[in-house]
Structure 1
Amino acid sequence: MTDDQRHSGRRQDRSRVTRLAQMLMSALTVGAVFGAATSLVNGISHSYADLESRAYTTSGWSIAEIVSVLLDSGWAWAGLAVAVGWLITRAGESHPTALAQGAAAGALALLAATTAYSVVDTIRTAEHFSWYGAEPLVWWITSVIFGAPLGAVGACAKRPGTIGLLARLTVPVGATVQMIVLPPGRNEVVETIGKTIVWTVAAASIGFIVVRFLAERELVRRRR
C-alpha cells in the first residue's frame, strides 16, 4: 500500500467519523427543539384555559390548545423519529448502514425530546425533577424501544419500490388510525378540530405520496 492510499484511507475514515458526529448532533438538536417546543406550547395553552368556567370546559378552545394537542400526540412524536431517520440518511447509502444510522438517529431524537420536555416542564412549573425517578426512566426506555425502529422506517423512506412507499405512508396512516382509536382533546370541540386537521393533512399526504409513487413507476416503465 502506497502513502497516497494510506492518506486517502485516513481521510475517508475521518470523513465518516465527522459525518457520524454531525448526524448524532442533528438528531439530538432536532429532538431537543421539538421536546422543548411541545412543553412551551402546552404551558401557553394552559394559561389560556379557563377550566373553572363550565362553558369553556365543555366547548371552549384556543389556537394554542389545538397546536398543543397536535404536538403532544403519539403520532407526532413517532413522526419526529421517522423524520429524523429520513433526514440524516443519504440516498446512496448501503441498506444496512442506512438502517443503523436511521435507528440510532430516531432513538437519540426521542431521547433528546423527552429530556428537553421534562427539563422545560420543570423550569416552567418550578417543580423538582428527579433524573433517576421511575417516570423519566420509563420514557427514556420507551424512546429507545420505539425510536430505533421508527428511525429505521425513516431511513427506508428514501428507498424506491414498495418498501419506500410503505415507509413514507407510516406517519400519515398512523396519525389517521390514532384519530380513530385515541382522538385528542379534552372536549368534543377540541377533539373535532384536532381530528379534522389531522385527517385533512393525512389524506393530502397519502394522496401526494401515492400519486408520486405511481408517476415514478410509470416513468421507469416508459424508459425501459
Structure 2
Amino acid sequence: MTNDQRHGSRWQDRSRMTRPLEILVSALAVGAGFGAATSLVNALSHNNADLESSAYTTSGWSIAEIMSLLLDSGWAWAGLAVAAGWLVTRARESRPRTLAQGGAAAGALALLAATAAYSIVDSIRSGEQIPWYMSEPAVWWVASVVLGAPLGAVGACVKRPGAIGLLARLTVPVGAAVQMVVLPPGRNEVVETAGKTIVWTVAAASIGYIVVRYLLVERRRRSLAVAESLPSTAGIARPRSSSAQ
C-alpha cells in the first residue's frame, strides 16, 4: 500500500468517525434553537396580548400570536424530529437499517434539546427558582424519546425512492392538516381561522408538490427501465435496398 493510499484510508476512517458526531451536534443545535425560539415567540405573543380587554379576547390577534401558534404546535415539533432524522442522510450511509437507527437517535435528541432549551429560556424569562428541568411536566421528556425516535426514523427515509420515501415526505404536511381538524389551535375564532388557513394552505401546496414530483420521477424511472429493456440496435447492419444492388 502506498503512502497516498494509507493517507486516503486514514482520511476515510476519520470521516466515518466524525460524521456521527457532526450529525449529533447538528441535531442538538437545531433542537435547541427551535425550543429557544418557540419560548421567546410565546413570550412576545403574551406580552402583546391585552387579555383584560373583552374585544381583544374575543376577536383580537397579533402576528406574534400567529407565529407562536405555528411554532408551538404538535405538528411543528414533529417536523423538528423528522428534520433531525433527515440530517442523518448526510452521512452517506446506504444501509436503510443504519440510517433508520441514526435517524431515530437524532429525532429523540433534537426533541430533548428543544424541550431543554424551551425550559431554560422559560425559567430565565420568568425568574423561577426551581431547576429548569423541573419546569416542564415529565410527560414532555418522555414524549421526546417515545415520539422523537420513530419520527426521526421517518426523516431518515425521506430521500428513499418509491412508496416508502413518498410516505416519509408526506408525514409532516398530512399530520399538520389532520391536527387542524382534530385539535385546531387558537384562543378565539379569529386566531383559530388564521392558523388553520395558513397551515392548510401550506400543507396542501406541499402535498401537491410532493405527489406531483413523485409521479414525474416514477414516470421517468419507468421510461428508463423500458428503454434499457429494449434490444440494442447498435452493430446491426441495415439491409441493402434493391436499388443499391
Hey, what does 2:108 align to over in structure 1?
Answer: 107
The one-character-per-residue Cα deviations of 1:120-144 (angstroms, maximum 9, x if unpaired) are 0111111124356384533222101
Q: Matched residue of 2:147: which SS?
A: helix
Show structure 1 runs of 5+ residues with no match.
none
1:176 aligns with 2:177: yes
Measure how far apart 1:175 and its partner are: 0.3
The 5-angstrom pairing of residues 142-221 of structure 1 reads: 142-221=143-222
Note closer, same or farther for the CA distance 1:140–1:10 as it changes in structure 2 (3 Å cut): farther
CA distance in 2, matches of 1:59, 1:131: 34
**Kept in 2: contact 1:119–1:129 (CA 8 A):** no
TM-score, scaled relative to structure 1: 0.93
Hey, what does 2:51 align to over in structure 1?
Answer: 51
CA distance in 1, matches of 2:5, 2:53: 74
Q: Matched residue of 2:89: which SS?
A: coil
Hey, what does 1:39 align to over in structure 2?
Answer: 39
Hey, what does 2:125 align to over in structure 1?
Answer: 124
CA distance in 1, matches of 2:25, 2:172: 23
Q: Matched residue of 1:159: which SS?
A: coil
TM-score, scaled relative to structure 2: 0.86
Hey, what does 2:233 align to over in structure 1?
Answer: none
What is the count of residue pairs matched by the alignment? 224
Identity of aligned residues (%): 72
Amino acid aligned to 1:42: N
CA distance in 1, matches of 2:104, 2:139: 19
Show structure 2 runs of 5+ residues with no match.
226-245
Amino acid aligned to 1:156: C
**Kept in 1: contact 2:154–2:168 (CA 8 A):** yes
Measure how far apart 1:8 and its partner are: 5.8
Note closer, same or farther for the CA distance 1:92–1:15 as it changes in structure 2 (3 Å cut): closer
Q: Give the greater-gyration-radius structure (CA).
A: 2
Amino acid aligned to 2:32: A
RMSD: 1.9
CA distance in 2, matches of 1:8, 1:140: 43
Amino acid aligned to 1:183: P
